[in-house]
Structures are given as structure tokens and as C-alpha cells.
Amino acid sequence: MRGLAGRRAILTGGASGIGRATAVRLVEEGCTVGIFDQNFAGTEETAALCRGKPGRVLIYKVDITDRDAVATATDVFEHDAGPVELLANVAGWDRPIPFLDTDRAFWDKVIGINLYGPLNLHHVVVKRMADRGFGRVVTVSSDAGRVGSSGEAVYSACKGGVIAFTKTMARELARNNVTLNVVCPGPTDTPLFGGFVTDMPKLAESLARAIPLRRLGVPDDYPGIIAFLLSDDASYITGQTISVSGGLTMQ
């Protein structure tokens, strides 16, 4: 894709799943990718998968719920690689629990990772992009944020909030030449989804039957659209929400 080779990107959640697949794709496109993730062992595995590809990977153990930690890691990345130009917010976490059975500690964890995490990355990284007059941002939300999802009330609230936040930021930063878009995966076979299957063994089978393409998503279904939205091929696209769900949800 045009305009990715040589770009410097920060990506969250690159230790596994969609984040790992996206990190590999961006390195294949020639990007220098700084992975922010608490799972340092997982990021080392991702880095190993990227060896020999045109770009390179730098890994940092970062708690994205901590704004100061994000700022420090961003400073280190820019010292190591140069000014950040691209941002992919991919990190996420949830457990399937009916809302009335949850407690405040659970809410705080879900909100911290899925809402405060992206807010922190925007507040630190996107401000630098705006000051420099260039940036491209893709945040991975979820179709749970568009249409709801039983057992994921707080997660859905966070993901819906990310969609509205991105649209607002896209309006605010258009004159700074910063584009911001959202990708909404449908049900996807990732380590996170594995926890759902453990709690609800028949979930994967029933979801696959409901999806018009007759299968769950896999991590490799998403890096193409994320890379596209970060590339110069998408320079006139901003404030958009794109569902990648095998047709489970349509708009």
C-alpha cells in the first residue's frame, strides 16, 4: 500500500491476536513498529515473527491504562525511531458476564483497558501528530459497540464510546491533517475469545452458523483494512466506522 514504507507506528496489543497480525503486516509494509503491551514475552514472540521483513519492530512493556507510562514509552520510541506518524489502538480485554452479576472492580478493568487506554494514546501520541501536521490513527473497536452484545455491557459501552470519540476527534483534527478511523471486528477466534468459549462451550459453533460467511473471523482478517486506513490510499477517509464481521452485522 502507498505511503507505509518507512513510516513510524505505535501499536497497542501486539502480543497476540489481531494486534500481533497487524504488527506483522505493518512490518511487511516497511514500517517501524513500536509495540506497547504488558505481555512482554508475547511481544518478543511477535518480534521474532517479524525478523527478515522490510520494516522493524521495537517492543516496550507498557500499561496503557497509565497515561504517564504511555508518555514515557512514547518518548523512548521517538528517541529510538523518530517522530511517530501512525497509531493503531488494538489492545482490548473482556469477560462474558451479565451486567447485573458484575462489580465495580470489573467495570474499572474493562473501562481502563478499552476506553482509558485509547484515550491515553490519543492524548499523548495524537497531540504530537497534530502539532506536526500529519498523522493517521486506526482504533479497533467492536461490533459490540455498534449493535450490543449479550454479556458484554460494559465492554460494549466502551467500544461504542470509542466510535463516538473517534468521530469527534476526526472533526477536531481534520485541519491538522490527522485522519482517524475505526475498525469493528465481529466474533473472532483470538486468545480473548477463547475465554468466552471456555465459559460458553457452544458459543463458537452457534456464532459460526449465524455469520453469512459461515465462519468466525481470524486475526489475519483485519490487518489489511487497518494497513489500508493507515496508508496514503486512505488519505481522504476520516471519521468512518468499518465493520469486518463476515456479514453478521450490516449497515
Which positions are annotated as active-site residues? Answer: 155
Cβ neighbours, 10 Å, residue 192: 16
Helix then strand then coil, % of the chain, to nearest 5:
50, 15, 35
Distance CA 62, CA 40 (A): 9
DSSP letter string, 160-192: HHHHHHHHHHHHHHGGGTEEEEEEEE-SB-SHH
Distance CA 83, CA 90 (A): 20
Cell numbers found for residue 108: 474499572
What single letter denotes the amino acid at residue 101? D
Distance CA 173, CA 129 (A): 10
Cβ neighbours, 10 Å, residue 79: 8
Of 183, 249, 167, 207, the C-alpha closest to 22 is 183
Cβ neighbours, 10 Å, residue 250: 7
